[in-house]
Amino acid sequence: MAPNALSRGLVALSLALALSKPVSALSSWYTEPGGVPTGSVAGDKVRGVNLGGWFIMENWMMPNYFDVPDLQDDYITDEWTFCEVLGKEECLTRLEKHWDSYITEDDFKRFANYSLNTVRIPMGYWSWTDPEEFEPYIQGQLPYLERALNWSSVWGLDVMMDLHGLPGGQNGQDNQGYKGPVEFQNNATNMERAMQALANMTEFVTQDRFNGVVKAIELTNEPYILEYSPNGMNFDVLADFYVQGYNAVRGAEHIQESSNEVMVVIHDAFQPVLNWKYFWSQEHLGMNWTNYALDTHIYDAFGGSSSKSWQEHLDTICAQSAAISEAQTYFPVIVGEWALGVNTYCVDYKSCWGLSMNDVIYNFTSSYEASLFMRQFWEVQSNVYELGAGWIFWSVHHELAGPWSWTQSAAQNWIPEDPTEKLYPFYADASSYCLDTSNPIDGDQNMPYFPSFARNYTDIDISNQKPKNFAALSNNITSTSNTSTSTNMTSSVSSTVSGAAAAATNSKASGASHTLLSLTPAALFGFVAMSLVALL
């Protein structure tokens, strides 16, 4: 490379680094066997957001999406029904548009702007192993996932992959892809396909080309066991799935040079978090595992929660402190789902047809006190959950319900731009009134401003955000360009472990990488440097 070109490139890189707003990532996603669980140091926490509703549709999150002539007469309970009604060809066409637009690079810039450091990406088994003939699911998700992994790397966010839906279903809810009975345990084929999906997913996302951005893999989401629901599976079935799933991940992962194995995350199956000491103390279960964590989901929006006072909502979260703190001394505890919602929305999605965010948000912006409670609810939850290894908000978007939407909650200023910004003293040992809302740290005169209207989250200024990972920038430019212009990016996942990697390699998203890689080193460096200069 010519000296002048090199100098100009280095100046561009240095200037971009100097002006870049830092994102404080979890320092390590690895716990030394027998060591202090990662995430135990104050401030060194997972702070993230779920990309829910993207690769698995949930009608309550986007009800107006189904208010179209060819779907109005049917009740679209889940993604299975969506594809069953439309047929695979039309389903693919619509889902490709959804995958391309629902999550964009600007979302990742907003995450960086708010100093988030993690995204959790839920996906169904059908993305990773070929659907059976009777299953209406379609594939084609991998090029969009690839794009998101590159965005995560560029903008400085770690990724937790989550196999959100299992063959046969693990909880009977729409978030598993098919709303109905829990049938995962009914035949051995379901277990075999789940292991295949975990292995394929692991091999794909741990490839060198993703720069080690995937730090954790969650074996599945919210499994129901008999102790929680009469429709659940026997605990022994779930435990066997966890053991086999752990082995599938370990057998398929590619460990990056000078890195540790990926963290394997299991959900608590709605059991007390301290119960899981047993699982990791038994030789036939998890005693010999390395680098693992527990995911727990905490919502105060179901049952009789909607009738609680604001203080009762705060106290409900305070009451979680002791268990999370103690469990964190044994293993990392990540609150992988939570929200600001204190009631449910659009459970019957058709009842919300025609509504807008403005209609729903009015209840919160009609009084300053209501918005201030939202901020307090954010603060008590982030404080309590950081007694563990951290938290991941559900979810990035909601078409109508601001408290369930990270982007809308940020736009309303219920969520601070700096997650370490606190308005009130917090007393971790208090099971009630742990957040002292009577004595603001800086006094009442410094309370925040809340918009009195439904602010468009795209108005959040992200113009000063700069890339955090320049090694990934060229990959991002390539994948973004090709995914947005491709009109047919289906990919069939092979039933072999190597199939997942082959699927994305053969997709149109990989086409332009040959063009980029054909550049000389000097030209490639200059291309990246000029892009950085343009960003500055």
222 is catalytic: yes
Nearest to 155 by CA among 203, 89, 104, 95: 104
Distances in Å between the alpha carbon of 183 and those of 119, 301, 422, 424?
A: 29, 27, 45, 47
* pTM score: 0.89
Q: What is the mean pLDDT of the chain?
A: 88
Specify the pLDDT at position 482.
Answer: 58
Backbone angles phi, psi at 162, to 5 degrees: -135, 115
Q: Write phi, then psi, for 296 (nearest 5 degrees).
A: -125, 145
Q: Considering just the CA atoms, what is the radius of gyration of the chain in Å?
A: 23
Peptide bond into 395 cis (omega under 30): yes
Phi, psi (rounded to 5 degrees) for 401: -95, 100
Whether residue 524 is predicted with pLDDT greater than 50 in this model: the reply is no
DSSP bridge partners of 39: none
pLDDT value, residue 446? 86
Residue 455's pLDDT is 96
Question: Which sequence spans correspond to the domains of the chain?
Answer: 46-469
Residue 122 confidence class, pLDDT cut points 50, 70, 90: very high
Q: Round to the nearest angstrom and report the end-to-end CA distance of the chain.
A: 23
Q: Which residues contact 100 (CB under 8 A, 6 or more apart)?
A: 144, 483, 484
Confidence of residue 360 (pLDDT cuts 50, 70, 90): confident
Annotated catalytic residue, options 96, 218, 222, 253: 222
CATH number attached to the domain at 46-469: 3.20.20.80
| The pLDDT of residue 1 is above 90 | no
pLDDT band at 517; cut points 50, 70, 90: very low
- 21: pLDDT strictly greater than 90: no
Q: Which of 337, 379, 386, 399 is catalytic?
A: 337
Query: What's the burial of 436, exposed, middle or buried (CB within 10 Å: 0-12/13-18/19+)?
Result: middle
Q: What is the DSSP letter of 117?
A: -
The answer, yes or no, to whether residue 332 has pLDDT greater than 70, is: yes
Q: Is 391 in contact with 334 (CB distance < 8 Å)?
A: yes
Other Cβ atoms closer than 10 A to 181: 11
DSSP 140: -
pLDDT reported for residue 469: 80
pLDDT digits (tens, 9 = 90+) for 244-268: 999 999 999 999 999 999 999 999 9
Spatial contact of 294 and 269, defined as CB atoms under 8 Å apart = no
Task: Tell me what the mean pLDDT of segment 35-60 comes to.
Answer: 98
Mean pLDDT for the stretch of residues 475-497 = 50
> How confident is the model over 461-471, as a mean pLDDT?
87
Q: Please say if the pLDDT value at position 198 is more than 70.
A: yes
For CA atoms 283, 285, 287, 290, give the dihedral sign: positive
| pLDDT bracket for residue 478 (50, 70, 90) | low
The verdict on whether 261 is a catalytic residue reads no
Q: What is the distance between the alpha carbons of residues 210 and 505, in angstroms, rounded to a whole number?
A: 13
Name residues whose C-beta falls within 8 Å of residue 425's C-beta, 6 or more positions apart in sequence: 435, 436, 439, 441
**Is 519 a residue whose pLDDT tops 70?**
no
Please give the structure tokens belonging to residue 515. 């063009």
Evaluate whether 466 touches 113 at the Cβ level (below 8 Å).
Answer: no
* pLDDT at residue 503, as a whole number: 42
